[in-house]
Amino acid sequence: MISTIKSSANYKWWVFGAIAIGTFLSVVDHGSVLVALPSIERHFGSDLPSVQWIVLGYALAISVLILPMGRLGDIIGRKQVYVGGMVIFVVAAGLAGASPNLGSLIAFKVFQGVGSAMVQSAGIAMVISAFPGTERGKALGTHLSVVGAGAIAGPVIGGLLVSIFDWRSVFFANVPVGVFTIAVSMLVLPLDKPEPPAEGEPRQRFDWGGAVLSGLALLGFLLVVGNGDRLGWTSAIVLSGLAASVLAMASFIWWELLSPSPMLDMRLFKRKLVALGVAAGWFSFLGSSAARFMMPFYLQRVLEFSPRDVGLLLIAPALCLVVVGPFSGRLSDRFGWRGLTVGGLTLSAAAWFIMAGTLTESSPVLLIVILLMFQSTGTALFNTPNNSSILSAVDRSQYGVVSALTQLVRNSANVTSIAIATTVVVATMGARGVEPSLDAVSPAVAGAFVAGLRWAFLMMGGLLLVGIAISVVRGERPKPASPARPVSVVAEPASAESASD
């Protein structure tokens, strides 16, 4: 039966389905854990800042390791990395559920982040490798819909598990689904061992130096950005951490340029589709992510909706990702990227500028949900075509590390966006004589908080305008190279656009 599946015309969808189960599981796990945090806090008699390290440690592990794991999959085979990551994810979930104290729970979630980094980096690369270049947008868009569906289901499933059982069930529930995913993946996914190097070419080796330097740079940057508002952006520890991060990043670039087998080939950034696509993606998330963090504060502490009602209100914007993602991917396959990327960012920026101009202490919740839906639609229109354009400019043998790069861009921009927006909001609150802290948000200080939100939305809209400008100048799918100008880095005919600079 398995041989029949692998020889069928629909085998690419079998590969997609196997990866989709793992993707859905990891996204649901994240949402479920967020819902369970208050119960965990009460169980261990801890405080929220300490309990939040369950989520922060997991996110840091993914961000630091996703790029090296993407490269590892390119070298030894993505199936091995994906299945190995799922095994770590499942084992860590079981250990987290059995944790006797908060410290061990945080440690096991960090361990689970290692597995999640392996799953995320190898999963997307395997999906797009299973589809022809002319259907790359379709594959990425449909994958985005799985992520959106998981984002909707996560809090709902987590709430049900916590209310019926307890917080440990959120972790234990991953085990049977994860074991099933591992079994399906072992049977269905192709064994994609890389081809041996051609005569005269050096053997590809894992770049340990690049992995360590990139990890140090990212860890330092994320810790500095995530704690800058609390510690003070001009404090000695923040400035020292920032300097160390910059030094580590400079060392990483220097190392990669000299390495015969670099983790991330820096020469890729000479190509316009890669360099400007990464930049546009970073500004897209930089100008969007903070809203998903800030709006629950507004809905719960200003408009005084319950957490359950807030979750229900945010389902509609998440559904926009599910519906529009595949649609934008198919359109980009047929008509190119620039119109969709520019149009998507324009729609998102318009939503934020309208929000900045109309938000009050008593804004109609329907207007807010509609604007959030517009912004999510804009994100879906932009994200899939932009990632498709980046991947079109690289060889299939680099799909793992480059797809990991696109996810790293998202993760780092998410953290930075929240940090900048938080700084803008609390600074505005402080200027109006209110305690400069999100913990102080309540109906009594709603005016100061909303004023800060308006400035934050103006800032995010401005950042999206930068992304629009980058998307305009990066151009559209270029013409294939002429025979007189050979393309040395492209293995698939559908990716001839990588010759453009």
Average pLDDT over residues 421-428: 88
List, for residues 346-383, the tens digit of each pLDDT value. 999 999 999 999 999 888 999 999 999 999 899 889 98
pLDDT of residue 246: 92
Distance CA 70, CA 62 (A): 11
List, for residues 37-84, the tens digit of each pLDDT value. 878 888 888 776 788 788 888 888 888 888 888 888 888 888 899 999
Q: Can you say whether the dihedral through the CA atoms of 499, 81, 264, 414 is positive or negative? A: positive
Provide the whole-model pTM: 0.80
CATH 3.50.50.60 fits 264-501, yes or no: no
Average pLDDT over residues 296-311: 81
Task: Return the CATH class of domain 1-191.
Answer: mainly alpha
Q: Does residue 399 have a pLDDT over 90?
A: no
Residue 367 three-state SS: helix
Q: Does residue 485 have a pLDDT over 50?
A: no
Type and span of the H or E element at 167:
none
Average pLDDT over residues 199-212: 76
Domain boundaries, the chain: 1-191, 208-263, 264-501
Widest CA span in the chain: 73
Distance CA 311, CA 306 (A): 9
Band the pLDDT of 476: cuts 50, 70, 90: low
pLDDT of residue 474: 76
The mean of the pLDDT values for the chain is 83
pLDDT of residue 202: 61
pLDDT of residue 497: 39
Identify the residue with better confidence: 83 or 207: 83
pLDDT of residue 48: 67
Q: Does residue 313 have a pLDDT over 80?
A: yes
Interior angle at CA 290, CA 64 and CA 70, nearest 5: 25
Q: Which of 208-222, 270-284, 309-323 has the lowest mean pLDDT?
A: 309-323
Average pLDDT over residues 204-220: 86
pLDDT of residue 338: 82
pLDDT of residue 482: 37
Return left, alpha or beta for 202; rule: phi > 0 is left, psi -120 to 50 is alpha, else beta: beta
Kindly give the residue spans of alpha helices, DSSP state H, lying in 232-314: 236-258, 272-286, 289-297, 307-313
Band the pLDDT of 224: cuts 50, 70, 90: confident
Contacts (Cβ under 8 Å, ≥6 apart) of 80: 73
Band the pLDDT of 2: cuts 50, 70, 90: low
Residue entry with tokens 């801890």: 46
pLDDT of residue 283: 93
